[in-house]
């Protein structure tokens, strides 16, 4: 038996122990923050990021929308500000007949020797190309077209050389190019086909501790999406697969109950403090296994010990709230955007379907005058201007002066997912002069419409409003701005990717169809 003699009073020991525990708790609390995913909500798929000094720049794919490739800025990776769109001229972005299955696929942004590079694929209108700028806010150059095809091209700069990777024939291929002209300088060489998952794509190269690392996505951009990685001492291979692949997937026992699913298509970035991070896409199920807001941009920490394989989020699945040692506190965002039409250009959040016909969009006397061209369902440069839905709970509202609504014209607000999947609330002016309010639904080949109670008797200024609680859209109108009458409500699932397809997410906006023009007094979006 051992007997210890205690000469210090027990109360003093307890006080010191409590002080130590409080100090440890404070350190842990100060270094860990709640990280809420997505960090860029709504339709913002295929993120790519680069760091220049203390600044991070991130781009997303944009498919059939113009302008294309939104570009965001951050100093901490968790709080992002939209600063423009990379492709904002017709010469950069031909979108003839583009749908949310085609158009601009996954871009990559890189910086080298004073120049920013954005490389991407225009599916259906030209293939792979890149543009350059000395300021990420633009202007960006005319397209530099590239020979090696496949989708999701990426760049790697080293020792005065520029390498390109993409995935022709479901194989990650490498070649050297001239970054000034796009001319291919070497034959394309196969690097890796992944671990056997379908659609090996989204390749990015990195170099760390003497290894070249090749990060890709597999499984398709749905439930089975996942990240895998391989490495080699030489850039041209042969590449050895990580024995612990996949690096990230929520298609697992641990991740199957998460709201976030479809995690994949990532890019790594090193912060100034030496920490590593990954941005990647994922979607949030909104009631059952349906998602309508699109694939969104998420963030997770990466542990990358010297000469070892990287580990994403400690090997755990991604949740909507995670306790993470972020670079800075994440600020809550509750967006309120009240847009008036005073002659100033619309902000970078506003986009069109395909290349807009400029004459059909003009501001006059404090109003936005939209001239109809075809229909949303026909998808031939329809008259539409909208912004991404970035919260499941939101409201969008506008006002139309029926006295300025032309005969034979329908105008209003649309919940737009794809040309075969949209929910509209509009005013129609018949040749008799009467004005009706109608809620129309286009769900694949099915069409449905509901008329408002006052149809045929509306006069003066009429407000239209679409609200969402995350599971339903409610369509209402008002003739005085105070009393609202609901026309219809529809399930959000009707415009989900699982029902109507497409690679995008809901965009909310103003449209005009038929034979004439309509004047919108304002548009307000808030969450």
**417 within 8 A of 495, measured Cβ to Cβ:** yes
The pLDDT-based confidence of 13 (bands split at 50, 70, 90) is very low
pLDDT at 239 over 60: yes
Express each pLDDT in 26-85 by its tens digit: 333 345 889 999 999 999 999 999 999 999 999 999 999 999 999 999 999 999 999 999
Q: What pLDDT, on the 0 to 100 scale, is given for residue 32?
A: 81
Q: What pLDDT, on the 0 to 100 scale, is given for residue 67?
A: 98
The backbone region for 298, taken as left when phi is positive above 0, alpha when psi lies in -120 to 50, beta otherwise, is: beta
pLDDT at 220 over 70: yes
pLDDT at 292 over 70: yes
Phi, psi of 210 (to 5 degrees): 85, -5
pLDDT at 453 over 60: yes
CA distance 368 to 412: 12
| CB hemisphere CA count around 332 (13 angstroms) | 3
Residue among 46, 392, 410, 424 flagged as catalytic? 46
Structure tokens at 303: 């542990």
Q: What pLDDT, on the 0 to 100 scale, is given for residue 9?
A: 42
Structure tokens at 394: 């939101």
The pLDDT-based confidence of 333 (bands split at 50, 70, 90) is confident
The pLDDT-based confidence of 7 (bands split at 50, 70, 90) is very low
pLDDT at 19 over 60: no
CA distance 392 to 472: 10
Q: What pLDDT, on the 0 to 100 scale, is given for residue 334?
A: 85
**69 within 8 A of 106, measured Cβ to Cβ:** no
Write down the mean pLDDT value for the chain. 94
The pLDDT-based confidence of 452 (bands split at 50, 70, 90) is very high
pLDDT at 475 over 90: yes
Express each pLDDT in 334-356 by its tens digit: 899 999 999 999 999 999 999 99
Task: Report the pLDDT averaged over residues 382-406.
Answer: 97
The pLDDT-based confidence of 456 (bands split at 50, 70, 90) is confident
Q: Which residues does 115 contact at the CB level (< 8 Å), separation at least 6?
A: 132, 133, 134
Q: Which one is predicted more confidently, 14 or 53?
A: 53
Task: Report the pLDDT averaged over residues 202-216.
Answer: 98
Express each pLDDT in 80-110 by its tens digit: 999 999 999 999 999 999 999 999 999 999 9
Q: What pLDDT, on the 0 to 100 scale, is given for residue 20?
A: 45
Beta-strand ranges (E) seen in 246-328 are 260-270, 276-284, 296-303, 311-312, 321-324
Helix (H, G, I), strand (E, B) or coil at 494: helix
pLDDT at 5 over 70: no
CA distance 198 to 202: 12
Q: What pLDDT, on the 0 to 100 scale, is given for residue 31?
A: 59
Q: What pLDDT, on the 0 to 100 scale, is given for residue 346?
A: 97
**313 within 8 A of 322, measured Cβ to Cβ:** yes
46 among known catalytic residues: yes
Task: Report the pLDDT averaged over residues 245-259.
Answer: 96
Q: How far is CA 461 from the centre of its chain?
A: 35
Q: What percent of the chain lies above the pLDDT cut of 90?
A: 91
Q: What pLDDT, on the 0 to 100 scale, is given for residue 352?
A: 98
Phi, psi of 168 (to 5 degrees): -60, 140
Express each pLDDT in 423-434 by its tens digit: 999 999 998 999
91 among known catalytic residues: no
Nearest to 137 by CA among 192, 71, 91: 71
Task: Report the pLDDT averaged over residues 249-272.
Answer: 97
Q: What pLDDT, on the 0 to 100 scale, is given for residue 289?
A: 93
CA distances from 473 to 415, 491, 511 (A): 9, 6, 18
Q: What pLDDT, on the 0 to 100 scale, is given for residue 22?
A: 38
| CB hemisphere CA count around 306 (13 angstroms) | 0
Burial class (CB in 10 A: 0-12, 13-18, 19+), 489: middle
Q: Which residues does 520 contact at the CB level (< 8 Å), separation at least 6?
A: 341, 367, 368, 369, 370, 398, 399, 400, 411, 510
Q: What pLDDT, on the 0 to 100 scale, is given for residue 75?
A: 98
Largest Cα–Cα distance of the chain, in whole Å? 106
Structure tokens at 424: 């509209």
CA distance 498 to 424: 20
Task: Report the pLDDT averaged over residues 228-241.
Answer: 98
Residue among 152, 176, 201, 296 flagged as catalytic? 201
**239 within 8 A of 192, measured Cβ to Cβ:** yes
CA distance 441 to 383: 18
**230 within 8 A of 237, measured Cβ to Cβ:** no
Express each pLDDT in 149-205 by its tens digit: 999 999 999 999 999 999 999 999 999 999 999 999 999 999 999 999 999 999 999
């Amino acid at each position: 038996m051992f007997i210890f003699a205690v000469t210090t009073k027990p109360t003093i020991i307890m006080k010191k122990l409590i002080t130590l525990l409080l100090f440890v708790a404070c350190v842990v609390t100060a270094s860990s923050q709640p990280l809420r995913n997505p960090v860029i909500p709504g339709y913002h798929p295929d993120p790519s990021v680069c760091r220049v000094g203390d600044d991070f720049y991130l781009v997303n794919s944009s498919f059939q929308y113009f302008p294309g490739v939104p570009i965001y800025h951050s100093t901490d990776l968790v709080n992002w500000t939209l600063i423009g769109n990379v492709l904002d001229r017709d010469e950069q972005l031909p979108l003839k007949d583009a749908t949310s299955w085609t158009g601009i696929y996954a871009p990559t942004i890189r910086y080298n020797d004073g120049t920013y590079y954005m490389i991407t694929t225009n599916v259906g209108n030209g293939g792979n190309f890149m543009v350059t700028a000395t300021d990420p806010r633009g202007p960006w150059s005319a397209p530099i077209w590239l020979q090696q095809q496949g989708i999701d091209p990426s760049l790697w700069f080293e020792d005065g050389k520029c390498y390109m990777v993409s995935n022709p024939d479901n194989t990650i291929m490498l070649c050297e190019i001239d970054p000034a002209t796009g001319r291919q300088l070497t034959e394309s060489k196969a690097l890796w086909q992944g671990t056997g998952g379908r659609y090996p794509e989204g390749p990015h190269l990195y170099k760390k501790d003497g290894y070249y690392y090749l990060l890709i996505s597999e499984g398709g951009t749905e439930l089975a999406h996942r990240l895998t990685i391989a490495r080699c001492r030489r850039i041209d291979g042969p590449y050895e697969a990580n024995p612990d692949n996949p690096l990230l997937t929520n298609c697992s026992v641990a991740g199957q109950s998460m709201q976030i699913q479809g995690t994949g298509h990532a890019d790594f970035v090193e912060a100034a403090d030496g920490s590593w991070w990954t941005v990647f896409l994922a979607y949030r199920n909104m009631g059952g296994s349906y998602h309508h807001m699109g694939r969104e941009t998420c963030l997770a920490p990466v542990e990358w010990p010297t000469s070892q394989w990287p580990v994403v989020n400690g090997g755990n699945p991604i949740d909507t709230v995670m306790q993470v040692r972020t670079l800075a506190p994440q600020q809550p965002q509750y967006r309120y955007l009240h847009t008036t039409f005073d002659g100033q250009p619309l902000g970078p959040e506003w986009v069109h379907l395909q290349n807009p016909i400029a004459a059909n969009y003009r501001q006059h006397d404090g109003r936005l005058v939209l001239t109809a061209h075809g229909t949303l369902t026909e998808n031939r440069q329809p008259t539409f201007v909208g912004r991404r839905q970035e919260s499941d709970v939101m409201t969008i509202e506008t006002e139309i002066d029926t006295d300025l609504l032309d005969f034979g014209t329908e105008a209003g607000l649309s919940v737009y997912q794809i040309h075969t999947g949209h929910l509209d609330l509009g005013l129609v002016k018949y040749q008799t002069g009467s004005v009706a309010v109608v809620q129309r639904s286009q769900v694949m080949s099915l069409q449905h419409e509901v008329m408002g109670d006052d149809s045929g008797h509306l006069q003066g200024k009429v407000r239209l409003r679409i609200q969402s609680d995350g599971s339903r859209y409610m369509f209402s109108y008002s003739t005085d701005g105070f009393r609202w009458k609901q026309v219809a409500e529809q399930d959000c699932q009707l415009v989900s990717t699982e029902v109507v397809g497409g690679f995008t997410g809901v965009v909310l906006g103003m449209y005009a169809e038929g034979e004439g023009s309509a004047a919108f007094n304002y548009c307000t979006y808030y969450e």
